[in-house]
Structure 1
């Protein structure tokens, strides 16, 4: 939605002083009374004032929500905790389109024990609504949970059959095959009483809840006592049960100390989406894992996003562990802990929930692993769209419509410039055809002298345009001479105008041109005063994001290679430092950046580099970098 000309904010902005300063929950509604967004605040006036700043200063997603709404309303509550509860309740009730929402609706299989039944049953299900059932998981693979259940039934022989099979056995007085092979204690035919069978079900639940070592020790002791009393048949059954228990434990990785009860979250997000990965650790073992992908409509802070992840993870799912480990502390952490404690109590579990950010040790390592898994989930979610032909076609059609092109851009080239404070300037060109990357047609550019980003873009597009006009004599396939339907440059209006000037000077016509603004939803055209806003649900938005990210990745990789080559040239001029010792330095420290940062004492630890030579290296690198920006400063656009 575009901004009304001359408008600084929206007409429904509340009058000054009318918004209370108390804690509360607010709702934005559209002209049809639909709730667009629900939020909470410790101070309603302070929070809502953020939405009524000049429209051009708002994040695009926030601006779109504010412009779509026609009024805002609020409810005062007594405390931050009540605000949190009411916010979560209204999000569940109204499902506002601008709140954080899951995109991945895949249901995962669980191991369930139906303790609410007269004769409890162990089963694999995706249904989370069974009355009185205790759930374990989720599991990512059905075969893995089937193997686990098969082993568990050897140790805890309880009913796993359907109701129809149980009723038939009860009528005929003959148990099913599982009863005959010892994987069910056959309460259907009275081999055990219903109370004894329920006790077996309680033991299985306790084992899965983390009491595994207690059971292993108990079975081992009973086996030894039976053997000592010469009860060899009973000892053999206990031996088989012990082997089954140990097999189950082998399938569940030991990752933390015994008795650790924690939910470990990894969280990675970009402008469009966030990915979450959960390790459910019970008794020091990973009992379940799960990954989610969520849409992030409003420009949330890290703390706000962490709070919403807690809502989605626990609102109607598994009970939280006593310790919840997050990469970032949620807003109103004490209120979130109270809410999680209540969720835990609703499942009949004691203890207060504590939310922490792990800093070191085994918990930090597991949290880092969860973050790696979350990053992978986000990457899979991005690339999954490109694997489907219909989705790719829709993305190209959306882009054609948004940019007013006569035909879909079957070949798109995206350019990115990367530098460190104006030094070591390089650029990349990535190519997508039919929505898929063509890595064999990527190009890298070294830019010797430039004044700024716009000059760099002008130089690169000038070089690209020359090949379009003249062809590529060094490429037998003339692939670099192919004419794209669309050129994208990383940057706003100035960069796009610089690229257009380069195309005009080369006499290139008929190629669409756009710039990818930092906010990503905005595409700048050369002669337009305002950007094109890609719809939040448009497939084109994800295609543009992937193009931008790929171009940025290639440019950064090339810049690192150039920096390594530069430091090799610098070092090769030092007397006594030949190619072998230069390679040894780079191999020892792993990168040019670390060689530059190393102290003379650290340089001297490299084989073949003595104290005198280490001092010479430090002096040379120090002189070459004096006055230059440190690594990581400056711009990487």
Structure 2
């Protein structure tokens, strides 16, 4: 069918103002979102210079059935609008970041009498100092662990700290100085807090010199235990510095490097604050249009800094490849974060070393990822041969059931493609309205809900469906597929062998024929991985539901008894068991509980 889009008529009336363009296919689905300083010139380039486009971009152009234009007052506002549309619509031809979580920080409550340090995410509402951002929680934990061992500032919650009558385990193992029981003077504790701040601010040389002076002073005064403590702090500090190759630099910056291979992209970001590298993070993207490194970075930076993440943007962003029009991008990022931002490409000395480190990390991480994907693809190909499938499956789903003697029954659905697990497609089903412990009914309900919904949405179905169970479970799955009219999926049951040990699984086909693969078969390893992931996901969902149910107090189900009355009763009687034993008269003695309400509470509990 010919493309109904009249390109000539569209371009003839197109404005030269800045703005955003959205490309749609014949079904009205979004394909691509872009921004331009001159809309007429930018959009025309897709059609007038087709021979200069990459094959993937040419494929995009052939699918265009409509283009919508939004004019913006300036290029900067067009950039912001573009990012909002990309985030809302997730166009398939744009590069898309999958990480929308806020970055963690270390929080220091320096206004408290005895300040504490801990991990923080989200809005910075509390009074205190925030250090970061760190690329992930493990980087925060590593820094907190070092600080806990070295300067021993408390990390316990305020509610715990205020109610201690004797030191906790952290004090006993030498990781806290016991401010909760005043085992350390306020002056000495404040000094530990100040040393912690110097470390977090990257002022390691000043901190080192102070510790050396303190050690020498303590040794001169024959306070050898104190001198040994400072000696250990100096040793720990030097050890951390030796592991950090960017301490020679100064200032704060994000270093963004790009590496591409086989249609995939790795963006690696180094987070440097006050001359100290807090950590790094890799983002893996798909190069849908065979864009250059510079073009990819130009698309990535707005998503990194304008995508709604809670993060502090440094004054400098150093990039591995040159991009056009850095001024507008830096202006918009600066407007959002509230201070001037510079985007640099041509750098020297320590910044050049940072860029080299980031490029090497991006390259190695991408190769490792591609190697894992190739390994997974090889196992998919082995699976085709082992199960005699018509083609290599591209999408596999597996179901499992979990419960405790029928309590809190959950069904899990995990999804794998040729690149591995697709966790964004995982689903957990609450199973209700069945006889407790009836796994067949649970499987029937989960499969029916899953695939009836996919059919109603017009979504694709998996090539292969694995059922964790024997012939009974598989038979129930076949019944569901027949009822739904689904014939395109291949079904297999994965039953434990007679020994019930890994490596002896029995695979049951739709016609009930059985086969056992050798324990070194890559296809069996893939099946085990998928089955185990379904099992893990089902158990995780089940345990969460069961624990939530069991931790719920019976008092919460009593009408007219809210949180305050529950607290008052628990304070009065000391516990649920005593409340249950109480008479109506005893219950009526609790403040706020009348005789009539006491009778209702007693009737409910008995």
Q: How would you bin the TM-score normalised by the shorter chain?
A: 0.5 to 0.7
User: What's the counterpart of residue 309 of structure 1?
Assistant: 300
Show the 5 A alignment for 1:166-185: 167-168=159-160, 170-185=162-177
Q: In the TM superposition, what whole-angstrom CA distance separates every residue of 1:397-454 from its partner, at most 9, and x where no partner exists?
A: 9xx99xxxx7669xxxxxxxxxxxxxxxxxxxxxxxxx99xxxxxxxxxxxxxxxxxx
Change (3 A) 1:116 1:218: closer
Is structure 2 residue 260 aligned with structure 1 residue 269?
A: yes
Contact 2:102 2:311 in 1 (8 A): no
Contact 1:61 1:297 in 2 (8 A): yes
Selected match of 2:269 from 248, 273, 278: 278
Change (3 A) 1:116 1:11: farther
Contact 1:22 1:44 in 2 (8 A): yes
Selected match of 1:137 from 134, 137, 140: 134
Change (3 A) 1:79 1:220: farther
Q: In the TM superposition, what whole-angstrom CA distance separates every residue of 1:579-636 from its partner, at most 9, and x where no partner exists?
A: xxxxxxxxxxxxxxxxxxxxxxxxxxxxxxxxxxxxxxxxxxxxxxxxxxxxxxxxxx
User: What's the counterpart of residue 208 of structure 1?
Assistant: 200
User: What's the counterpart of residue 87 of structure 1?
Assistant: 82
Deviation at 1:45, TM superposition (A): 0.8
TM-score (norm 1): 0.51
Deviation at 1:211, TM superposition (A): 2.0
Q: Structure 1 residues 302-311 or 187-196, which shifts more?
A: 187-196
User: What's the counterpart of residue 376 of structure 2?
Assistant: 388
Contact 1:114 1:130 in 2 (8 A): no
In 1, Cα distance between the equivalents of 2:283 and 2:46? 29
Show the 5 A alignment for 1:62-211: 62-102=57-97, 112-113=106-107, 122-123=117-118, 134-138=131-135, 142=138, 148-161=143-156, 163=157, 167-168=159-160, 170-189=162-181, 204-211=196-203
Cα RMSD, aligned residues only: 4.4
Contact 2:151 2:196 in 1 (8 A): yes
Deviation at 1:269, TM superposition (A): 1.7
In 2, Cα distance between the equivalents of 1:335 and 1:54? 26
Contact 2:164 2:180 in 1 (8 A): no
Contact 1:10 1:52 in 2 (8 A): no
User: What's the counterpart of residue 481 of structure 2?
Assistant: none
Contact 1:136 1:208 in 2 (8 A): no
Unaligned runs of 5+ in 1: 346-350, 410-434, 437-637
Q: In the TM superposition, what whole-angstrom CA distance separates every residue of 1:513-557 from its partner, at most 9, and x where no partner exists?
A: xxxxxxxxxxxxxxxxxxxxxxxxxxxxxxxxxxxxxxxxxxxxx
Contact 1:111 1:124 in 2 (8 A): yes
Q: In the TM superposition, what whole-angstrom CA distance separates every residue of 1:435-480 from its partner, at most 9, and x where no partner exists?
A: 99xxxxxxxxxxxxxxxxxxxxxxxxxxxxxxxxxxxxxxxxxxxx
SS in 2 for 1:15: helix
In 2, Cα distance between the equivalents of 1:392 and 1:23? 47
SS in 2 for 1:297: coil
Is structure 2 residue 364 aligned with structure 1 residue 376?
A: yes
Deviation at 1:294, TM superposition (A): 0.8
Contact 2:11 2:44 in 1 (8 A): no
Change (3 A) 1:16 1:124: closer
Contact 1:22 1:43 in 2 (8 A): yes
TM-score (norm 2): 0.53
In 1, Cα distance between the equivalents of 2:184 and 2:29? 57
Contact 2:326 2:343 in 1 (8 A): yes
Contact 2:16 2:40 in 1 (8 A): yes
Contact 2:380 2:392 in 1 (8 A): no
Is structure 2 residue 14 aligned with structure 1 residue 22?
A: no
Contact 2:147 2:153 in 1 (8 A): no
Q: In the TM superposition, what whole-angstrom CA distance separates every residue of 1:102-136 from its partner, at most 9, and x where no partner exists?
A: 46x699996633659978654568x6678665445
Is structure 2 residue 234 aligned with structure 1 residue 242?
A: yes
Unaligned runs of 5+ in 2: 394-417, 420-606
Change (3 A) 1:168 1:354: closer
SS in 2 for 1:257: coil
In 2, Cα distance between the equivalents of 1:158 and 1:292? 34
SS in 1 for 2:163: helix
User: What's the counterpart of residue 545 of structure 2?
Assistant: none
Q: In the TM superposition, what whole-angstrom CA distance separates every residue of 1:310-346 from its partner, at most 9, and x where no partner exists?
A: 123334264333332212122320122223434554x
In 1, Cα distance between the equivalents of 2:166 and 2:218? 30
Change (3 A) 1:269 1:389: closer
Change (3 A) 1:75 1:182: same
Contact 2:198 2:207 in 1 (8 A): no
